[in-house]
Amino acid sequence: METGMRGMAAASIAMPRRALLAGIVIALAAGCGPATASPSSSTAAASPTAAASATAAGAGKPILVAQIAAHSGQLSQLGAWDKEALDLAFKQKNDAGGACGRKLELSVFDDQGDPTVGVNVTRQALQTGIVAAFATTESAVTLAVLPLFETAKIPHFTAGQSDAIAKEGSGYVFRDGPPAAAFNKTLADYAINKKKWAKFAMVTNTGGYGDSERKAFTAQLTTANIKPLLDATVTPEAQEFTAQINEIKRLAPDAIFTGMEEVQNGLFAKQLRDFGITTPLIGGPPGGTPQFVKVAGAAANGSIFSSPYITNDANDQTRAFAAAFKAMHGKDPEFHGAKGYDGAQLLFQAIEATCDNITGETIAAALHKISGYKGLQGTFSVQADGETLSLTQVGVLENGVAKLAP
């Protein structure tokens, strides 16, 4: 996940603020390691006509883009996954000639997974001349910074999955993957109709991601005339789940739905299995990531999750992406990397549609016109509310490896 990606703020607005880590400019035009993925239409070099227009309008200056994400704290892995994907996408684009004959430059700001810090660093980022941003990887922070981007007329991609983001009605926020409702519709259909489960326990956190997951999965159960046996919530900082696990043991559900990010979800899974409970765990992308496996250990085995990107071996496009990602970063990508990469391709496509007048406003308008773009996660068509993708699949972890669920 929002996965991703995604989700809660690690600290509430009322918590003391830590020192800001902001404005680390990364010049991605220089060599960052080999990249061999075949570029799609959105990463092809700009045409001579477009390049000429860009030279007149921008005089060859770099096109400035920001990434605002958690790079410290419990949710820092989300920011790291997103940045790794952006590093690859920007390098490939610049190696191919840039956009409109101009190089793209990415600056990185650490929001620490905290809405107030996110607002502060967003204000800083908006003063640097950016025309677009990837902001942010967490739903709660995205909701906090969204008005700033809308006022500045700067488009931003969010990896947050909360359905509330699109309901804000901004014409400047775009999602780089499906919303919570899409994940949970697929998951509920699998659990209820394919597995024939009827008794569910739910454990979610009260952060942005957990709250959105709770509401989305509850809505699916309600549609099926099912009331959960347990609907327990915990704080985003909780690390001990004895009370919830004891209640689960007493109720004996068919499946346990979790709405927590990777680290917290992993701790819950490990404690659950330590209590001897073997009931299947189901949920969103956090239940299928390497970070979850690292924390949960053997308890991650059998975790069932909903995601639009489950395996790097889905097709030639995903295999090329995975090979380039591994060549650059020395490891295999997963869902969050695919999200960031897809978002970058959409942005590049929009920029190249506005070569003669590259502004946040023109890029946003161009993004709204994108339809039928075939990305790593599926086919993207931008809606009026900024939603782009609506389909997911169901995966399962087998010995730490994510596979399509049978």
Residue 203 DSSP SS3? strand
Q: Are 389 and 295 in contact (CB under 8 A)?
A: no
For tokens 């609506």, name the residue: 390
134 domain residue, yes or no:
yes
Tokens of 187: 């998951």
* Pair (39, 157) in one structural domain: yes
Query: Are 323 and 251 in the same domain?
Result: no
Residue 132, strand partner residues = 65
Same domain, 261 and 233: yes
Tell me if 106 is assigned to some domain.
yes
Does any domain span residue 3? no
In a 10 Å sphere around its CB, with 0-12 CB exposed, 13-18 middle and 19+ buried, how is residue 270 labelled?
middle
Residues 6 or more apart whose CB falls under 8 angstroms from that of 243 comprise none
- Residues lower than pLDDT 70 in the chain: 1-59
Q: What is the pLDDT of residue 16?
A: 34
Instruction: Decide if 138 is inside a domain.
Output: yes
Asked whether residue 219 falls in the same domain as residue 160, the answer is no
Residue 377 and residue 398 in one domain:
no
7 belongs to a structural domain: no
- Calpha distance 28→95 (Å, rounded): 9
Same domain, 341 and 229: no
* Residues 136-145: tens digit of each pLDDT: 999 999 999 9
Instruction: Read off the tokens for 207.
Output: 């952060």
- Give domain status of residue 1, yes or no: no
Q: Which two tokens stand for residue 271?
A: 């404690």
Give me the residues paired with residue 255 across strands. Answer: 200
Tally the domains of the chain: 2
What CA–CA distance (Å, rounded) separates 69 from 85?
13
Q: Are 29 and 115 found together in one domain?
A: yes
Question: Cα separation of 383 and 390, whole Å?
Answer: 11
Q: CATH number of the domain that 253 lies in?
A: 3.40.50.2300
- Are residues 172 and 248 both part of a single domain? no
Q: Are residues 284 and 234 in the same domain?
A: yes
| Total-model pTM | 0.82
Rounded distance between C-alpha atoms, residue 184 and residue 1, angstroms: 12
pLDDT of residue 317: 97
Are residues 235 and 356 both part of a single domain? no
Cβ atoms of residues 373 and 345 within 8 Å: yes
Strand partners, 403: 396
153 plus 290 within the same structural domain: no
CA distance 342 to 158: 12
Domain containing 64 equals 24-178+319-381
Quote the CA–CA distance of 343 and 79 in Å, as a whole number.
14
Cα(54)–Cα(149) distance, rounded to whole angstroms? 24
Identify whether the C-beta of residue 257 lies closer than 8 Å to the C-beta of residue 200: yes
Residue at 254 is within a domain: yes
pLDDT number for residue 102 = 97
pLDDT at 74: 84
pLDDT at 20: 36
Identify whether residues 204 and 344 lie together within a single domain: no
pLDDT of residue 208: 86
189 in any annotated domain? yes
The pLDDT of residue 52 is 39
